[in-house]
Structure 1
Amino acid sequence: MTPITEVEGRRLTLRNLEKVLHPATGTTKGELLHYYATVGPVILPHLHDRAVSFLRYPDGPDGQLFFTKNPPPGTPAWVNTTPVPRSDAPLARQVMIQDLPSLMWAANLVVEFHTPQWRADSPGVADRLVLDLDPGPPATVVECCRVALHLRERLAADGLTAYAKTSGSKGLHLLVPLVPAPSEEVSGYARRLAVEAEAELPRLVVHRMAKALRPGKVFVDHSQNAAAKTTATPYTLRARRLPTVSAPVTWEEIEETAETGETGAAGNGGAEPLVVLLEDVAPRLEAYGELLAPLFDPAVAGALP
């Protein structure tokens, strides 16, 4: 019998609740759905009014993974969509996750959530800047933390405030609330920051994507500020063998990791430094609250220099 549940008046058919999606921990689809129901109040503001892209992994990270921007077949009529300008499809539409029923419908598809830096009512006008710090082995998140601290100070010199989250993979994301500005201008500024960081920390930073340049260094990926690009949404689970989350972390945690190379996010069960797992998020919210709440405060947003 297929379970049917009701979420805020919407009926959802939930399937394969016992299927293991994260094999390193045996995390099931039912546990994934419970996670999203629990973190709905904090993930929904980051999804709201943004065109959402999905990385789907219905059979776990070892199965087929595919990225989609179009509304999936069978999308309920009550799930909002928005027109999105694209060079290849001028009348394209994408899903918006505006409420808990829409979140649970999407989670039931088994997806990573990815969002652009702009809102649906202003395509190509960014209200966030993002820098993706990606370590090239043997560099790790420890080196990412050292680069993050450098970039925080650099941004502060321009009157901008950075907030950090794990990528849910190997690195860190820095998010900066902005007075809305054209994505082209944000992209240009982000690239300048990456180039400057490489010039100031040449043994630690690279601003170009070429893999041959990256061993032992941190790639400061500025490209996700382009209007057509997206970034893993805060609090999304990632399609990995461990149920890792792209989760906010404190600057104190980043400082400690940069100094010692040993500490991790609180309560991560002895995982690698600054790895946040599904079961860690609720205790972290209780301990720290929503660390990214300032992203929604207009008083915190800074103007591009």
Structure 2
Amino acid sequence: MPDPTATVTEVAGRRLRLTHLDRVLYPRTGYTKAAVLRYYTLVAPAMLPQLAGRPASFLRLPEGVEGQRFWAKRVPPGAPEWVAALLVNHGHETLRQTVVDDLPTLLWAANLGCLEFHVPQWRAEPRSHDRLIIDLDPGEGTSVVECCQVALAARELLAADGLRCWPKTTGSKGLHLSVPLLPTPAERVTRYARDLARRLRRALPELVVDQMAKQLRTGRVFVDWSQNNSAKTTVAAYSLRARPEPTVSAPLEWREVTECRRADQLVLTADQVARRLRETGDPHAGLADPAEAGELPSDG
């Protein structure tokens, strides 16, 4: 059946057919596909530098957050010829994955029902990382409030090693810290991340765990150093999350991390994030600046 809401538009010189614009993707709030496309249009100037050059993995929910969901890595059949792609070796197979380098590609993917955008810590070469990710995951009995305490300790340790980090919410319960690096062998980044997790555990033994076993995580924050594995991806800054409400993996100011006393202070929705970006700018702008890329200490 023809879609009466479909519209053909031109975005940055690319022709896009946008469909089912009135479909409600977040039933709890009535947030529609049109609203999703509008959100990604508004945040694109800040989001695209965080996606550029990285092979994307999409969490697709064509019917919305209460419908079927599936991961998509391959460039789908029928994709426009102008959609950029990278050939990525996943060990047992090589996949042609989308690279979201511009607004037309971002909106094309969102129109397919891609609510979440995930990328690795590398660009063209999996063996060379240009970013370190510190994933702070609160265990039962803790929240993002405790993650903020660990984040502040991590910032101090990183600074002592000559590294700068940028915080963002996961859009779920935890925090991510992103550290821009000069191209560094993947194994070395993982070793450093593991050592940093151990140092945090030693500094905050009542608050931090660096092992994945769930029985160890109650009342503590898990520092998931394994997220730096080349095969893993992390939700991108400004990506929506497929949760009951349209929450966002939202870049933060360090002031917000320092002042966090309640978990709901750092639950940010699409409308809030778009407004923050318009009024106060992008807290993660420096993360994409090549001049900010650091070098791991020689014993890392």
Q: Which TM-score tier does this pair reach, normalised by the shorter chain?
A: over 0.9
Q: Name the CA distance, whole Å, in 2 between partners of 1:178 and 1:16.
A: 41
- 2:152 corresponds to 1:149: yes
- 2:10 corresponds to 1:32: no
Q: Counterpart of 1:296? A: 288
Contact 1:160 1:176 in 2 (8 A): yes
1:199 offset after TM fit, Å?
2.0
- 2:278 corresponds to 1:286: yes
1:123 offset after TM fit, Å?
2.8
Q: Counterpart of 2:137? A: 134
| Matching residue's letter, 1:284 | R
Q: Name the CA distance, whole Å, in 1 between partners of 2:55 and 2:198.
A: 30
Contact 1:8 1:101 in 2 (8 A): yes
Task: Give per-residue Cα distances to partners, 1:191-243, cap 9 Å, x unaligned.
Answer: 11112211221211111122111111111111111111110011110111110
Q: Counterpart of 1:269? A: none
Q: Name the CA distance, whole Å, in 2 between partners of 1:286 and 1:41.
A: 11
Q: What SS class does the counterpart of residue 291 from structure 2 fall into?
A: coil
Q: Counterpart of 2:216? A: 213
- 2:60 corresponds to 1:56: yes
Task: Give per-residue Cα distances to partners, 1:145-199, cap 9 Å, x unaligned.
Answer: 0000010001111010111001011011000111110111101100111122112
- What runs of 5+ residues in structure 1 fail to find an aligned partner? 265-271
- 2:71 corresponds to 1:79: no
Q: Counterpart of 2:7? A: 3
| Matching residue's letter, 1:92 | L
Q: Which residue of 225, 229, 236 corresponds with 1:226?
A: 229
Q: Which residue of 260, 265, 268 corresponds with 1:276?
A: 268
1:288 offset after TM fit, Å?
2.9
- Counting matched residue pairs gives 292
Q: Which residue of 168, 171, 175 corresponds with 1:172?
A: 175
Q: Counterpart of 2:248? A: 245
1:249 offset after TM fit, Å?
0.5
Q: Name the CA distance, whole Å, in 2 between partners of 1:213 and 1:20.
A: 40
1:64 offset after TM fit, Å?
1.5
Moved more, 134-143 or 91-100: 91-100
| Matching residue's letter, 2:266 | L
Q: Counterpart of 1:22? A: 26
- 2:199 corresponds to 1:196: yes
Moved more, 140-149 or 5-14: 5-14
Contact 2:43 2:277 in 1 (8 A): no
Overall identity of the aligned pairs, in %? 54
Task: Give per-residue Cα distances to partners, 1:244-299, cap 9 Å, x unaligned.
Answer: 11111111111011xxx23x7xxxxxxx1201110012221134311111112222
| Matching residue's letter, 1:158 | D
| Matching residue's letter, 1:139 | T
Q: Counterpart of 1:267? A: none
Q: What SS class does the counterpart of residue 64 from structure 2 fall into?
A: coil
Task: Give per-residue Cα distances to partners, 1:101-122, cap 9 Å, x unaligned.
Answer: 11110011122100011112x3
Task: Give per-residue Cα distances to partners, 1:56-96, cap 9 Å, x unaligned.
Answer: 1222222212112111232221111111122111x321111
Q: TM-score, normalised by structure 1?
A: 0.92
Q: TM-score, normalised by structure 2?
A: 0.94
| Matching residue's letter, 1:15 | T
Moved more, 44-53 or 281-290: 281-290
Contact 1:128 1:175 in 2 (8 A): yes
State the superposition RMSD in angstroms: 1.3
